[in-house]
Structure 1
Amino acid sequence: MNAPLFTATWQWRRLALCQALALGLLLLWLIPTVRTQLLTFDAGLFHVLNTPLAHSTAWLYLWTFFSLRPVDALVGLVLLALLVRGGWAYPTHQVRPALATFIGLLVILLIVRTLLTKGIEAWGLQHSSPSDVLPGAYLLSDRFPGLEHGWELKDRSGASFPGDHASVLLLWALFMAHFTRGGRRLVVAALAVLFMLPRLVAGAHWGSDDYIGGLALALGVISLGLHTPLAAGLAHRGERLLTPPLRGLGRLPVLGRLSLLRP
């Protein structure tokens, strides 16, 4: 008998630890003196990553490419491919419940992130991105003005906390890290860091938007799923919803070879 991917049990100690860590990160950021120190560190980090754009053509074109909205869709496909690849993080027969669970957790993340963003705005603590604030910033949108609207080049934001892009990447990374070990876990971590860098290089987000805001959101949501019966419930109900349409797609040539579409 195949073991379930998730256990429908309450893991109170792990849940409390992760939720306390997530809440602690947010509370730390709310302390004015700490937030000032974090932004000072973030400013230095931004200049280290952003300044080479003015001097290196390769650096400029690399991060301009990764800062385009359509490229975000390509990144999403890469992450999805690893998520639904049978035998990489979990056996083939567990791909569907894993996908269903991740989709459910992603919806929860989007809801929590929206509420947090509105709360930050209501408290008057929201801030603009470093590209709009710091002197000497190299703006990709100034260098390539045609890309800002036609290709939605992302190098600025009027409300950059928490890092929305980073929160999704970190949720995926924490989810995949739960099932992988060794080199594969390193691949997961490397991809998450790599795909978070474009917003930091271009200046759309401060570092703490990601390593405080994005991480707190992802950690809180992944813990809520994995350390309670929630993930097991999402896997069971979500798989039932996904199976009929996926069964139909699995009858198509070539597509039927995909782990996600196999019976």
Structure 2
Amino acid sequence: MSKKVIQILCWNLFGILLLISLYCTYRHGFWFNLDSTIFHFFNQFLDGSNKTFLYLIAITNHRSFDVISFLAMALLYYLYFRKVDNIDKRKMIVIGLMMLVMAILIKQWGRFIPISHESPTLYFDPLESINRISKLTHFGTKDASSDSFPGDHGMMLMIFAAFMWRYFGLKAFIQSAIIVIIFSAPRIIAGAHWFTDVYVGSLAITSIVLSWFLITPASDYLARGLLHLMPKRFFKTS
């Protein structure tokens, strides 16, 4: 059995075990206790006593702030883009297109996972008094979702990190992983997502699907095909 096959099987086993563990402990057990602890820890600080923190979380959960996370990824990508020659610039454009395609496909694939639940703000609100940033700030920010699994925003960030690891190495992965943590945190702090929506659901789905695309020759075959279709005027190589 080849090394790549073993890697794929390991990533798939990792993802499947994460999903099974979450499915089997729904509303009880380790994952729920962790989710509940994280939610209540942050929610206590959203009572309005610290206006700076409250509005920071409100702003970073507004839909328009997603543009900032995209710009952070684009900036990191550009830092690698500017260092390479025209041949590799063409390849990086293609890799960027593949990221977008895989993001769309994986998002659709995630809908078939038989796990669905409301965000912690909606789950706990009828049971106890909790702090909702949308009510405290009237900012029109996202602090709830009727179906928060998996964390789509976190999944897009993780797809970016996986591609950076595959094509640019461990250093690029660490840099992009920092972006994942920074820009997925506001959703969890606000209670729009459970911790496991992102770091179990999104991580599991990304691990399963992308392992078949990035570890096999599939990504390289697609990249060569897209390079062949790219107009020659983009970053001429001669």
TM-score normalised to the size of structure 1?
Answer: 0.77
Among candidates 129, 150, 155, match of residue 119 of structure 2: 129
Is 2:178 aligned against 1:190?
yes
Is residue 108–residue 221 contact of structure 1 (8 Å, CA) maintained in 2?
A: no
Is 2:204 aligned against 1:216?
yes
Task: Return closer, same or farther for 1:52/1:131 CA change in 2, 3 Å cut-off.
Answer: same
Distance 1:24 1:130 in 2: 23
Is 2:112 aligned against 1:112?
no
Task: Return closer, same or farther for 1:159/1:33 CA change in 2, 3 Å cut-off.
Answer: closer
How far did 1:156 drift? 0.7
How far did 1:31 drift? 1.0
Is residue 121–residue 130 contact of structure 2 (8 Å, CA) maintained in 1?
A: yes
Among candidates 144, 155, 169, match of residue 180 of structure 1: 169
**Aligned-partner SS, 1:200:** helix
TM-score normalised to the size of structure 2?
Answer: 0.84
How far did 1:102 drift? 4.3
- Report the RMSD for the aligned CA atoms in angstroms: 2.6
Is residue 109–residue 217 contact of structure 1 (8 Å, CA) maintained in 2?
A: no
How far did 1:197 drift? 0.5
Structure 1 counterpart of 2:228: 240
Distance 2:129 2:32 in 1: 16
Is 2:40 aligned against 1:47?
yes
| Percent sequence identity over aligned pairs | 25
The C-alpha deviation readout for 1:22-71, integer Å capped at 9, x for no partner, is 12211221213686431221111012222212232221121111111111
Task: Return closer, same or farther for 1:95/1:19 CA change in 2, 3 Å cut-off.
Answer: farther
Distance 2:236 2:144 in 1: 43
Is 2:54 aligned against 1:60?
yes
Is 2:141 aligned against 1:141?
no
Structure 1 counterpart of 2:67: 73
Among candidates 152, 155, 178, match of residue 167 of structure 1: 155
Distance 1:159 1:31 in 2: 18
Is 2:195 aligned against 1:207?
yes
How far did 1:76 drift? 0.5
Distance 2:163 2:28 in 1: 28
Count of aligned positions: 230
Task: Return closer, same or farther for 1:66/1:242 CA change in 2, 3 Å cut-off.
Answer: farther
Structure 2 counterpart of 1:83: 77
Distance 2:205 2:59 in 1: 27
Distance 2:74 2:228 in 1: 20
Task: Return closer, same or farther for 1:241/1:201 CA change in 2, 3 Å cut-off.
Answer: farther
- Higher mean C-alpha displacement, 22-31 vs 192-201: 22-31
Question: Please, which runs of 5 or more residues in structure 2 have no aligned partner?
Answer: none
Task: Return closer, same or farther for 1:108/1:77 CA change in 2, 3 Å cut-off.
Answer: same
Structure 1 counterpart of 2:144: 156
Distance 1:74 1:242 in 2: 28
How far did 1:119 drift? 4.1
Task: Return closer, same or farther for 1:80/1:14 CA change in 2, 3 Å cut-off.
Answer: same
**Aligned-partner SS, 1:11:** helix
How far did 1:11 drift? 2.0
Is residue 15–residue 203 contact of structure 2 (8 Å, CA) maintained in 1?
A: yes
Task: Return closer, same or farther for 1:27/1:10 CA change in 2, 3 Å cut-off.
Answer: same
How far did 1:10 drift? 8.6
How far did 1:113 drift? 3.0
**Aligned-partner SS, 1:221:** helix
One-letter code aligned to 1:82: L
**Aligned-partner SS, 2:40:** helix
Task: Return closer, same or farther for 1:72/1:97 CA change in 2, 3 Å cut-off.
Answer: same
**Aligned-partner SS, 1:85:** helix
